[in-house]
Amino acid sequence: MWQQIDNKLYREFLFADFPEAFAFMTRVALLAEKHQHHPQWTNVWNKVEIWLYTHDEGRISEKDEQLASEIDQLLTGQSK
């Protein structure tokens, strides 16, 4: 579940291994590029952490909520 931390949406994702985590990051990167809204993130082996906030506004915006929802859909296989 996404959490609001320091005025950002945050979520940690755990995968079986590095290739699975990297494949997820690739899908998120393509989705973010489509929306012209790019996350702050880190990856260490099987863990991906993502922070979403609208830099120009200095806060969480509707763009962040939408991207978070679509990232979640990637995990459930309901991607649009």
- Predicted TM-score of the model (pTM): 0.90
- CA distances 29 to 23, 34, 40, 71, Å, are 10, 9, 11, 10
Q: What is the pLDDT of residues 45-62, one digit of tens each?
A: 999 999 999 988 889 999
Contacts of 23 (CB under 8 A, 6+ apart): none
Identify the structural domains of the chain with CATH numbers, from first to last. Answer: 3-76 (3.30.1360.20)
Q: What is the pLDDT of residues 6-16, one digit of tens each?
A: 999 999 999 99
Q: Is the dihedral of CA 64, 66, 70, 73 positive or negative?
A: positive
Element (H, E) at 73: helix 62-76
In this structure, what token pair is assigned to residue 23? 């494949």
